[in-house]
Amino acid sequence: MVESKHAEIVVIGAGPGGYAAAFRAADLGKKVILIDKDPTLGGVCLNRGCIPSKVLLHISKVMDEASHLSKMGVTYSEPEINLDAIRAHKDKIVSQLNSGIEKMATARKVEWVRGKALFNSNSELNVINDDGEIKISFDKCIVAAGSVSATIPGVPADHPSVLTSRTALELVDIPERLLVIGGGVIGLELGQVYAALGAKVSVVEFLPNLIPGADQDIVKPLQRKLKKQFESIRLSSKVTSVLPNEDESLTVTIENEKGTSTEIYNKVLVSVGRKPNTNLLNIESTGVEVDERGFINVDVYQRTTIKNIFAIGDIVGNPMLAHKATHEGKVAAEVASGLPAAFDVRAIPSVVFTDPEVAWAGLTEIEAKEKGINYKKGEFPWAASGKAIAMGANQGKTKILFDPETSQVLGVGIVGPGAGDMISEGMLAIEMGADAEDIGLTIHPHPTLGETFGLAAEVFEGTITDLYVPKK
């Protein structure tokens, strides 16, 4: 016998966007059912992405900082790496956060159903799990089913030595040689982790730059460091084949303008983006419109083409970021509950949690030049920051793009330790419509890295005293 349930709002997917949507709807008095196929709440971000990767990145960063202290007169012995203990530490943090989310779900009386959700119609779906099948009818549905790592032709995705971001975070072992295919955010973050733990890491990127989409002046300090940490970085290059060997190593063929080369790696990490999980939902039975790439089309209210079905997060398109999904989830829950709300933001911040961190928000110089948007900028080099020099972070930079007529902030780019935290001031400035004077007259504490934001505004205004900028 098939069990039947009904909810005012059903949420498919318990990642950052999904559980935010479920919790907000519950807070608004709705009966909510939250569906996820995983045994724990939190989705990819918490269980197999954002959080475990940041745990490992913190470890690698501390190891790197310790090694550089020798220049300051403090020397440590070589670190002993216990992979079992590192995995246990990572899993403990994930479990702690899992528990917190589950307690919040219980407190809000959100019903959690484990299983795979499949649409039957615009008002009903089936959830299939080990115990059988549950039929759930709903007034409103919010789809937050997320995404999965993309694959590339010629790479045997099912081979044990071919890693995705998910399997790489399991940290089963540290290969002698690791090839990372893709020089984007995830590839560089995980590459740096493995390099810190002893692997010889190489990166192959199809495009001519690392972290495509970010201004290269804020990427350069990171790239300089990675050139020292990694065995090689090959830009404008393409992996044409990956062939398994008897010892589970992989023979990789790489092509670029210099020709073709073949090398053997113990493991290969494929990090070439993610694709939406739309194909797993039987969404064809709903009439919800999906584009050619599998993303669900939504309006500013997160509504799909079917008025009672909403969609949020990775499944609606780029940028595939947890904080974007969370914001969209709250909007969807509020609209579904009859409140006035919309996803109406001026910018979405991006952060690469490498060492140094790279962060940007709003207009980039790349985008401005492509669209013919006029701008002027104020830049403050961290080589003139006492705090940065004291930390050995003098390669960093804070850059602000301004509207030349109104002096309002259009975009921000930062590279250096803590850039991911610092970008929040830039986001607030963009959303509030702040101008250079607002920022420059805001007293920032000294000595801090954060004061470089105010100093960059002063450079633009021509009021800077911490640098000598010749008048034009």
Pairing mode, if any, of strands 177-181 and 358-362? unpaired
227: left (phi over 0), alpha (psi -120 to 50) or beta: alpha
Q: Is 68 a catalytic residue?
A: no
On the 0-12 / 13-18 / 19+ scale of CB atoms within 10 A, 235 is middle
Look at residue 188 and give its three-state secondary structure: helix
End-to-end CA distance of the chain: 81
Rounded CA gap, 168 and 152, in Å?
Answer: 17
CB hemisphere CA count around 209 (13 angstroms): 12
Task: Identify the H or E element spanning 66.
Answer: helix 50-68
- The residues, ordered by sequence, that sit 6+ positions from 50 with a Cβ below 8 Å of its Cβ are 322
Angle 198-391-56 from CA coordinates, rounded to 5°:
35
- Residue 266 near residue 178 (C-beta atoms within 8 A): yes
b/e sequence 31-47, b meaning 16+ C-beta within 10 Å: bbbbbbbbebbbbbbbb
Rounded CA gap, 466 and 200, in Å?
Answer: 41
Rounded CA gap, 304 and 392, in Å?
Answer: 50
Rounded CA gap, 435 and 423, in Å?
Answer: 16
Look at residue 214 and give its three-state secondary structure: coil
- The residues, ordered by sequence, that sit 6+ positions from 131 with a Cβ below 8 Å of its Cβ are none
How far CA 226 is from CA of 146, 189, 202, 211, in Å, comes to 30, 11, 10, 13
Closest CA to 398 of 449, 352, 350: 449
6, 68, 323, 446: which is the annotated catalytic residue? Answer: 446
Look at residue 58 and give its three-state secondary structure: helix
| Virtual torsion, Cα 117, 118, 120, 124, nearest 10 deg | 10
Q: Which residues are catalytic?
A: 446
